[in-house]
Amino acid sequence: MIGTLIYVQDVLRLLRLLNRKYKLLLIITSLIVISDQVAKIFVDRTMHLYQSIEVLENFFHITYIRNKGAAFGMLSGADSSLRVPFFLVMSTLAIGVIVYIIHKDEGKRDLFPITMALILGGAIGNMIDRLRLGEVIDFLDVHWYQHHWPAFNIADSAITVGAGLLILYMFKERKS
């Protein structure tokens, strides 16, 4: 209990030292990583692989899938001795680039740290799966009758929303 209290005090002290941009980045990234990992662990411990639970008829299921590839299962058929290191290196590079971009940002753009935190949190969430399992747990399953979208997870959603906001932000920057 005392150790936890000291840890919380250290975290609060660190947050006071950080400027607004880094606080926002740390909080949003942490929330995404934690919610993503908690959801994946819950699905892994309470469902069987390929089990599907209907949430909204003909629209949304929770379906436990393990994705060995990237988005939409790309490279899932590649040999694991090449695939796993490749994805880990690419994730590490992406995380490094995102951190560098955030660091270089002068903080004049309010939504930019949020946008980058979404992408960073998603990248870290999926990287944790690759380190832990060699693959990524997907469970959000959206479809419209027979039209089916590949299953995804909270990390994928954060990356997609962040990338969409980044594109909108780039269009806004071009206009000004």
Tell me the three state secondary structure of residue 67. Answer: strand
- DSSP class per residue in 80-142: HHHHHHHHHHHHHHHHHHHHHHHHH--S--SSHHHHHHHHHHHHHHHHHHHHHHSSEEEEEEE
Q: Determine the Cα–Cα distance for residues 34 and 31; give it in Å rounded to an integer.
A: 5
The residues carrying an active-site annotation are 138, 156
The pair of structure tokens assigned to 149 is 């979208």
